[in-house]
Amino acid sequence: MQIAYRARDITEAHIVAGFLGAHGVEAFVGGHYLQGAMGEIGAAGFSNVHVNDEDLFRARELVREYETGAPQALVSASDGEGRADFYARWFLFALVVLAIAAIHAGG
């Protein structure tokens, strides 16, 4: 395991770990118990994001992307729509179908 990112606090570490996970890099957050030793005050410098040795290069690239604030899309531009739009449209379609079925069943 290698440290891919040294976070300011545990929350940021989890955000970065989630960002890496969304891009297919398995990440682990360390420093939970050290953070808790400080009580309610947010301790800094104890939280790290760890990745497997073979994922270190890709993780560091993604961390640079995270720090610049210009993340690449999870879905390629050729798809024409993101995953969220795709699922939202199907969800709305299912709601309309159920509403029509409920109207016909009740009437």
Per the structure block, which two tokens stand in for 98? 């159920």
Per the structure block, which two tokens stand in for 18? 């989630």
CB 34 within 8 A of CB 42: no
Q: Give per-residue pLDDT as tens, 12-23.
A: 899 999 999 999
How far separated are the first and last CA of the chain, in Å rounded?
63
pLDDT tens sequence for the chain (107 residues): 899 999 888 888 999 999 999 999 999 998 776 655 555 555 556 789 999 999 999 999 999 988 888 655 554 544 555 666 777 888 888 889 899 988 988 76
DSSP, residue by residue, 42-99: ---S-EEEEE-GGGHHHHHHHHHHHHHT-PPPSS-GGGSS-HHHHHHHHHHHHHHHHH
